């Protein structure tokens, strides 16, 4: 018997550290880890000990005997990673990190994966005298886990169970619904803490910069994802779901999430934690086709194999690819020979290209199609593309979603690199534009490296950031706080009386889970910012430990 890693893998690497025979790869110490879609178990090396199952924070690992039918493809996917691959010597495990032996106060701006992993690492390894305060402008924690992960990927969202342990730690304090730059300045945080970690992500959407992009009926996938996930900023948005064709520009994982959810049936949506307003709207939509457009060829499709495979779970929906788009030249064939996972992904596209149409509803992939302009008078009616062999093409569209990535926004009082759209930094230490390190100021996650990687990538960032903080503390490079201990809590309460504490969040969390239970759903989200604060302050949690808190 062997174990198998499946779709909800978060890549945080926890399983690799407990495997006694090093059969899980790539590990965080290996070069391939930075670009892998997920982790894989070598079926020929696995000894069936089960250590990885207990360690996985998102329940992504199954015994091959217990693998659900819809996940059977992952037997071949795990094995394929090791096909012809030479892994080399067993990677060196990280040594126990150094600790600080004096009081150290750290503030973290942002409670998404980057901030939560950093806080978890700080209280776990930096020393028993380290305290952490987490600030987030939203009344709910976990950032993209709640508002970015697809609502039907409940396994991936289970990472929040691990993060929730922070709230039970007396050395960690949450200040939710508190916006840095509005309720408290960055300068004030630096006066109250030895170190400040900026982990507020990249919440804005990139633009194509083509004519017609701002026509009604054109929107960013970032806003659409926020809408169906119940983000307070998107609570009042509306989207045109009454037409027959939607076009998604981009073919990364977010694009495939959007396409899948647009074509999901009412029963599939009911078993997600999608915001109720979006569930009702999407259940009634009349779309018969969602066309997913990539600007490069099929081998450059940015989606993971796992996300592509998830399209097969849609009932009554064909997945289609033009066979012409699947023709490869010598370079493409050579790339397939070198990468077994890429080969599996290409073979799945070929399967879609060969399969006969069985349903009037479809998700259609187009490749090598560069969008040139959106056409329409008062709203989007079509989109024009350039194709290297077919020339200019026009595709009718009732709704266009631009899924071409995220971008960061500036935080008042912090240097910002307009070219990379990140904070300038060296070794996760924030610098001026001229490269001078700003003592005690750090960056983690997307705001540091750009919107790349997967959820587990933030764990490796967290370890690096915490190592930098500990080193700087031990070397005397941090500026001692000038404000007395605890006065920041008084300052926050005076500036933002509606601050949401950890216990307040538990009340909101339990309220949502209770509503979900009553309706036969995983949870029913409270959406509006003010309503979230109201419920958080006045509901009464049934327990002190949340379930899958998203």
Question: Mind listing the pLDDT tens digit for each residue in 315-345?
Answer: 999 999 999 999 999 999 999 999 999 999 9
The DSSP H or E segment spanning 105 is strand 104-109
The closest of 199, 123, 135, 101 to 168, measured between CA atoms, is 123
- Opening angle at CA 65, ends 59 and 71, nearest 5: 55
Query: What number of CA atoms fall less than 13 Å from residue 14's CA on the CB side?
Result: 22
CA distances from 68 to 22, 24, 39, 63, 456 (A): 25, 21, 19, 10, 24
Query: Going from the N-terminus, what domains does the chain have, and what CATH number goes with each?
Result: 3-81 (3.30.70.20), 104-203+408-500 (3.40.50.720), 205-405 (3.50.50.60)
pLDDT bucket at 90, cuts 50 / 70 / 90: low
- The C-alpha atoms of residue 224 and residue 363 are separated, in whole angstroms, by 18
- Number of helices (H) and strands (E) in the chain: give both, helices first: 20, 22
- Dihedral sign from CA coordinates of 342, 347, 348, 349: positive
Beta bridge partners of 371: 385
- The structure tokens 């509901």 sit at 539
Q: Residue 53: phi, psi to the nearest 5?
A: -65, -45
> Among 6-20, 222-236, 274-288, which is the least confidently predicted range?
6-20
pLDDT bucket at 95, cuts 50 / 70 / 90: low
Higher pLDDT, 242 or 509: 509
pLDDT at 546 over 50: no
- The C-alpha atoms of residue 139 and residue 178 are separated, in whole angstroms, by 8
Mean pLDDT across the chain: 92
pLDDT at 359 over 50: yes
pLDDT bucket at 452, cuts 50 / 70 / 90: confident
pLDDT at 363 over 90: yes
- The C-alpha atoms of residue 165 and residue 371 are separated, in whole angstroms, by 46
Contacts of 175 (CB under 8 A, 6+ apart): 133, 134, 135, 136, 489, 492, 499, 501
pTM value is 0.92
- The C-alpha atoms of residue 59 and residue 38 are separated, in whole angstroms, by 14
Q: What is the mean pLDDT of residues 20-42?
A: 90
Contacts of 95 (CB under 8 A, 6+ apart): none
pLDDT bucket at 88, cuts 50 / 70 / 90: low
The closest of 542, 488, 525, 520 to 175, measured between CA atoms, is 488
Query: What number of CA atoms fall less than 13 Å from residue 313's CA on the CB side?
Result: 23
Lookup: tokens for 124: 């776990």
């Amino acid at each position: 018997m062997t174990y198998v890693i499946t779709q909800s893998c978060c890549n945080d690497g926890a399983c690799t550290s407990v495997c006694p025979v090093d059969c899980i790869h790539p590990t965080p110490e290996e070069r391939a880890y930075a670009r892998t879609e997920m982790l894989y178990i070598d079926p020929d090396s696995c000894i069936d000990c089960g250590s990885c199952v207990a360690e996985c924070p998102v329940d992504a690992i199954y015994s091959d005997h217990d693998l659900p039918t819809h996940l059977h493809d992952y037997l071949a996917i795990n094995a394929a990673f090791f096909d012809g691959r030479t892994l080399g010597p067993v990677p060196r495990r990280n040594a126990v990190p150094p600790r600080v032996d004096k009081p150290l106060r750290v503030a973290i701006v942002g409670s998404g994966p980057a901030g939560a992993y950093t806080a978890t690492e700080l209280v776990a390894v930096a020393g028993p005298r380290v305290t952490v305060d987490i600030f987030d402008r939203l009344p709910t924690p976990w950032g993209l886990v709640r508002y970015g992960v697809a609502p039907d990927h409940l396994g991936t969202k289970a990472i929040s169970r691990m993060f929730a342990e922070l709230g039970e730690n007396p050395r960690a304090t949450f200040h939710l619904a508190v916006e840095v730059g509005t309720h408290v300045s960055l300068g004030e945080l630096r006066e109250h803490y030895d170190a400040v970690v900026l982990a507020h992500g990249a919440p804005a959407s990139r633009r194509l910069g083509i004519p017609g992009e701002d026509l009604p009926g054109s929107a960013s996938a970032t806003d659409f994802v926020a809408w169906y996930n119940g983000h307070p900023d998107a609570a009042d948005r509306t989207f045109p779901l009454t037409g027959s064709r939607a076009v998604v520009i981009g073919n990364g994982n977010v694009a495939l999430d959007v396409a899948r959810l647009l074509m999901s049936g009412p029963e599939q949506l009911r078993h997600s934690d999608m915001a109720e307003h979006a569930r009702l709207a999407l259940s009634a939509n009349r779309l018969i086709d969602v066309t997913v457009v990539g600007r490069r060829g099929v081998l450059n499709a940015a989606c993971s194999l796992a996300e592509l495979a998830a399209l097969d779970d849609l009932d009554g929906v064909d997945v289609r690819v033009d066979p012409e788009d699947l023709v490869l030249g010598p370079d493409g064939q050579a790339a397939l020979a070198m990468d077994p996972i890429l080969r599996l992904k290409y073979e799945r596209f070929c399967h879609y290209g060969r399969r006969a149409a069985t349903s009037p509803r479809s998700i259609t992939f187009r490749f090598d199609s560069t969008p040139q302009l959106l056409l329409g008078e008062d709203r989007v009616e079509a989109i024009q593309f350039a194709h290297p062999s077919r020339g200019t093409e026009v595709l009718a569209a009732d709704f266009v979603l631009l899924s071409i990535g995220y971008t960061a926004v500036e935080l008042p009082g912090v240097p910002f690199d307009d070219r990379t759209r990140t904070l300038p930094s060296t070794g996760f230490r924030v610098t001026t534009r001229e490269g001078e390190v700003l003592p005690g100021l750090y960056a983690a996650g997307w705001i540091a490296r750009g919107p790349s990687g997967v959820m587990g990538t933030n764990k490796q960032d967290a370890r690096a950031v915490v190592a930098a903080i500990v080193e700087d503390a031990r070397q005397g490079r941090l500026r001692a706080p000038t404000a007395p201990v605890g006065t920041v809590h008084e300052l926050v309460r005076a500036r933002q009386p509606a601050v949401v504490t950890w216990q307040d969040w538990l009340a909101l969390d339990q309220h949502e889970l209770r509503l979900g239970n009553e309706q036969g759903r995983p949870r029913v989200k409270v959406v509006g910012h003010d309503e979230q604060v109201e419920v958080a302050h006045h509901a009464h949690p049934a327990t002190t430990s949340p379930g899958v808190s998203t």
